[in-house]
Amino acid sequence: MTTSPSGLSVPLGDLPGWRQTYAEDFDVPAATGSFPGAAYGEHWDAYQDGWKDTSRNGTYLPSKVLSVHDGVLDYSIRTENGLHLVSAPVLKDTWGQTYGRYSVRFRADSLPGYKTAWLLWPDSERWPDDGEIDFPEGDLAPGGTIGAFAHHACAAGGQDAFASSTTFTSWHTATTEWLPGRVTFLLDGAVLGVSTHAVPATAMHWVLQTETAVSGGAPSDAVSGHVLVDWVALWTRV
């Protein structure tokens, strides 16, 4: 274990039923515009500059949004030159992985008009057929709470949704355990929900997607703040 800005150290080592394959504590600084870059590029990528987000009100611009400092990955969310700036880092180590345990330590400022949708997305790009797993997902507006969603892997779509009363403005740990026929969501170590219906069964990759909200229109240009990630940890099924 190492110390951490959030007060909880990155978990290191195997767990019963799980073999750890990666842990990142973000202890190497990277100036804005240099993430992933040389320091993190072996393991990380990000949605490219200029791509539109889900609502199409936001623009992915990792070159202006992402940096690493003081032991955290920092998303600087704001509007600049008329663009609502967001970002979606991708953990490359998860490409081609079916099933796993994914844990992230995070907090966010109140950012009305923005949200997190940190998710496992099918490598196949076949949606809804191959499903989707989202956690933590929720609006970053004042009072916005952390939720989890298990999108069914079937042509008809559908989802299991799990809500909490926990807001984003203090540090929390979200862990997704994805096994054959079962997805378990744990928030700060407590089970938030379990999905067993039409669970995805093909390879998925992990995207820490922060974007504009999908309803309510574009955010105000005056909104700005930060989403912080203290650490991430990844395991595969034994």
Domain residue ranges of the chain, discontinuous segments joined by +:
22-237
Six-digit token string for 170: 């203090």
The pLDDT assigned to 90 comes to 98
The helix or strand, by DSSP H or E, that contains position 213, with its residue range, turns out to be none
CB 118 within 8 A of CB 135: yes
CB 45 within 8 A of CB 82: no
pLDDT above 70 (res 3): no
Six-digit token string for 235: 């395991």
Q: Which of 108, 187, 199 is nearest to 152 (CA)?
A: 199
φ/ψ of 111, rounded to 5, equals -135, 80
- What Cα–Cα distance (Å) separates residue 18 from each residue in 1, 11, 46, 132, 178? 18, 13, 26, 21, 11
> How many of the other CB atoms lie within 10 Å of CB of 234?
22
Q: Is the pTM of this model over 0.85?
A: yes
- Cα torsion through 179, 185, 190, 193, rounded to 10: -100
What's the one-letter identity of residue 203? A
Q: What is the mean pLDDT of the chain?
A: 97
The helix or strand, by DSSP H or E, that contains position 115, with its residue range, turns out to be strand 114-122
pLDDT tens column, 157-169: 999 999 999 999 9
pLDDT tens column, 194-216: 999 999 999 999 999 999 999 99
- What Cα–Cα distance (Å) separates residue 6 from each residue in 73, 85, 149, 183? 12, 25, 25, 26
* CATH architecture classification, 22-237: Sandwich (2.60)
pLDDT-derived band at 1 (thresholds 50, 70, 90) equals very low
- Bridge partners, 231 (sequence order): 105
The pLDDT assigned to 4 comes to 84
In 3-state terms, what secondary structure has residue 58? strand
Characterize the bridge pairing of strands 225-237 and 18-24.
antiparallel
Q: How far apart are CA 236 and CA 91, in angstroms?
A: 14
pLDDT above 60 (res 107): yes
pLDDT above 60 (res 2): no
pLDDT tens column, 141-194: 999 999 999 999 999 999 999 999 999 999 999 999 999 999 999 999 999 999
